[in-house]
Amino acid sequence: MKCIISCLAVCFVFVVSDTAQAVTNLLTNPGFFDLVPGGGGAPGTDYGDGWSQFGATSFNQFFGPGNPHASIFADDAFNTGSFWQEGIAATPGKAYQFDLINTRIEANWDADLTFGVEFYAADGISFLGATKVPVDTAARLALPNVDTGGGVNGAVFSMQAVAPASAAFARPIAEFSNVNSAYVGGTTQQANSFVFNSFFSEVPAAGGELLKNPGFEDEDDDVVENFGDYWGSFGAAGFDNFFAGVGPANGHASLYADLPGNEGSIYQQSILGTAGNTYQFSLNDVRIESNFDATLKFGLEFYGDDDFTKISETIETIDTNTGMVDSNVFVMSGTAPAGTVYVRPVVSYDNVLSTATTDEGVFIFDASLVEVTASTEDADFDGDGDVDGKDFLTWQRGFGIGNLPSQGDANNSGTVDGVDLSIWQTQYGGGGPPVVGAVTVPEPTTLSIGLMAGIITMVLRRRG
């Protein structure tokens, strides 16, 4: 018993958050900014650097400063067009995902819109094939929306394609044709579409990170720092990097509970999911300030193929009344129901009661979303048929240095970390069932004694 107490004390001193490896955007200038000084125009006027276009498409900034976009003009029956990006290396057999993020479709749009990926040989010219999918704009326009003019704002469209043999380059492309024949002379109002952000990436390997920008950094190519790229926010929540001494890159999500009535959320769209699969959402480095007094939740929402119609959700409430301050870890999981096409991780808060003027916020510095199955989560590290204190000792010895299940890697992520400890806690006393519900790995200096006592109690009960 003395050995177990000593090992546990050491263990919780060293439980720290891991920095998730983000899904990498392979695009140059995914937000269509003017990046080249004087490149075809005065600074701030020549948008879409790194992109090409054909026909009735272009790159503009119609909707106020700081919002460049790709414009698709379908207000004339004779119009067609496309925009694309070249020079992106591809590997045969690899799957790639192309996302049109934050898309505006105007109320009178009536044309065929498709997007996809073309593949080319090493010479960059020989065409090897393409995968393109149509966007059902009519169905999307028929759904409820926030645009009083009848159009759609913030729509997300995603597709995947596998590179064929001999592929050396991938070219993401969006194109339109077949405009309504009654639209003549470009006089039809509200008949166009605009794409404000895009993403092109390799599809992660099984069990790999699914989040774009899990550390909430400024990943776009804009000049002004704009943290939280590829995340959305609502209410009194946003993305910042204002913690002095943390370093220049300390992007984080901020939830402000300093006023009664405040509420808000952060979320990420364009993550393709599969019905029946289980997804694990982790908040890996969370600061909960001492005067925070609100309801804090996190979880997963599941959507159909329009990324708008919610099918179901699995949401967990975080217990914030435990004296936790820095470096908290929270883990939950949910299984995608039938009809799921998109999975959306979300963190929200409401019911603010705080009357303090300082230290009422929650700040999230790192997050992770992975697909898991029962077979990939197993804390029986020594393979003796049960999950017990010996498996904990294996995890402790492998923490931070191991990369195999026999060294404490419960979820086959290739690292032994705090998430593996959470799985061990959930499976303790059994034979390694999958993670269900929320698991909390608190900040070590404030709750290590309580956690040690709880785990020691489990060990004593097991031995008894």
SS3 302: strand
One-letter identity of residue 159? M
In the chain, the percentage of residues whose pLDDT exceeds 90 is 59
pLDDT tens sequence across 183-197: 998 889 999 999 999
Q: What is the per-residue pLDDT for 377?
A: 80
Same domain, 382 and 433: yes
Of 180, 202, 224, the one marking the end of a domain is 202
In angstroms, the CA 80 to CA 274 distance is 34
- Cα-Cα-Cα-Cα torsion 163, 167, 171, 176, nearest 10 degrees, comes to -70
* Contact predicate 95/202, CB 8 Å: yes
pLDDT at 248: 59
Q: Are residues 331 and 258 in the same domain?
A: yes
Residue 33 inside a domain? The answer is no
| Residue 89 placed within a domain | yes
Q: What is the mean pLDDT of residues 268-297?
A: 94
CA atoms within 13 A on the CB side of 207: 12
In terms of domains, do 137 and 12 share one? Answer: no
Same domain? 8 vs 74: no
Residue 436 located in a structural domain? yes
- CA dihedral sign, ordered 318, 243, 29, 237: positive
One domain for residues 218 and 191? no
User: Residue 206: its pLDDT value, please?
Assistant: 83
Judgement on whether residues 317 and 411 belong to the same structural domain of the protein: yes
pLDDT band at 414 (very low <50, low <70, confident <90, very high): confident
The Cα–Cα gap between 427 and 378 comes to 8
**How open is the CA angle 88-66-254, to the nearest 5 degrees?**
90
- b/e map 366-404, b = 16+ CB within 10 Å: bbbbbbbeeebbbbbbeeeebbbbebbbbbbebbeebee
At 415, which helix (H) or strand (E)?
none
Instruction: Tell me how far apart the terminal alpha carbons of the chain are, to the nearest angstrom.
Output: 13
Q: Are residues 317 and 429 in the same domain?
A: yes
Euclidean distance between CA atoms 403 and 108, whole angstroms? 55
Per-residue pLDDT at 10 exceeds 70 = no
Which three-class secondary structure state does DSSP give residue 396? helix
| Alpha helices for 189-264 (secondary structure H) | none
pTM for the predicted model, two decimal places: 0.77
Closest CA to 19 of 246, 325, 270: 246
Residues 432-457: pLDDT tens digits?
544 434 444 444 443 344 444 444 44
More confident residue, 149 or 252: 252
Task: Out of 202, 222, 244, pick the residue that ends a domain.
Answer: 202
Per residue in 28-84, pLDDT tens?
999 999 888 766 666 667 899 999 999 999 999 988 777 899 999 999 999 999 999
The reply to whether 136 and 186 lie within a common domain is yes
Please give the structure tokens belonging to residue 458: 């489990």
Q: Which two tokens stand for residue 33?
A: 């900014």
Choose one of 165, 181, 202: the last residue of a domain.
202
Query: Given pLDDT bands bounded at 50, 70 and 90, which one contains residue 350?
Result: very high
Beta carbons within 8 Å of 439's beta carbon, 6+ residues apart: 330, 331, 332, 422, 423, 425, 426
**Mean pLDDT for the chain?**
84
Tell me the mean pLDDT in the region 360-378: 85
For position 164, which CATH number holds? 2.60.120.200
Model confidence over 204-244: pLDDT tens digits? 988 899 999 999 998 876 656 789 999 999 999 999 988 86
| pLDDT above 60 (res 5) | no
Question: What order do you get walking across the sheet with 310-318 strand by strand?
Answer: 232-235, 264-267, 342-350, 295-303, 310-318
State whether 411 and 275 are in the same domain: yes
Same domain for 216 and 196: no
Name the residue range of residue 125's domain. 52-202
Task: Kindly calculate the radius of gyration of the chain based on its CA atoms and give it in whole angstroms.
Answer: 24
Angle between helices 2-13 and 389-398 (to 10 degrees): 40
Q: Does the residue 374 lie in any domain?
A: yes
pLDDT bracket for residue 14 (50, 70, 90): very low
Amino acid in position 451: L
CA distance 229 to 181: 39
Q: Are residues 332 and 440 in the same domain?
A: yes
Domain count of the chain?
Answer: 2
- Answer yes or no: is pLDDT of 7 > 90: no
Whether residues 135 and 218 share a domain: the answer is no
The token duo for 96 is 């790639």
Q: Establish if 364 belongs to a structural domain.
A: yes
Q: Determine the pLDDT at residue 451.
A: 45
Instruction: Report the residue count for the chain.
Output: 464
CA distance linking residue 444 with residue 415, whole number of Å: 20
| CATH at residue 399 | 2.60.120.260
In a domain, 464, yes or no: no
Q: Is residue 397 part of a domain?
A: yes
Residue 6 has a pLDDT of 29
Q: Angle CA(430)–CA(433)–CA(439) in degrees, nearest 5?
A: 95
Q: What pLDDT was estimated at residue 375?
A: 54
| Confidence at 202, pLDDT banded by 50, 70, 90 | very high
Residue 161 lies in a domain: yes
The mean-pLDDT minimum among 86-95, 227-236, 348-357 falls in: 348-357
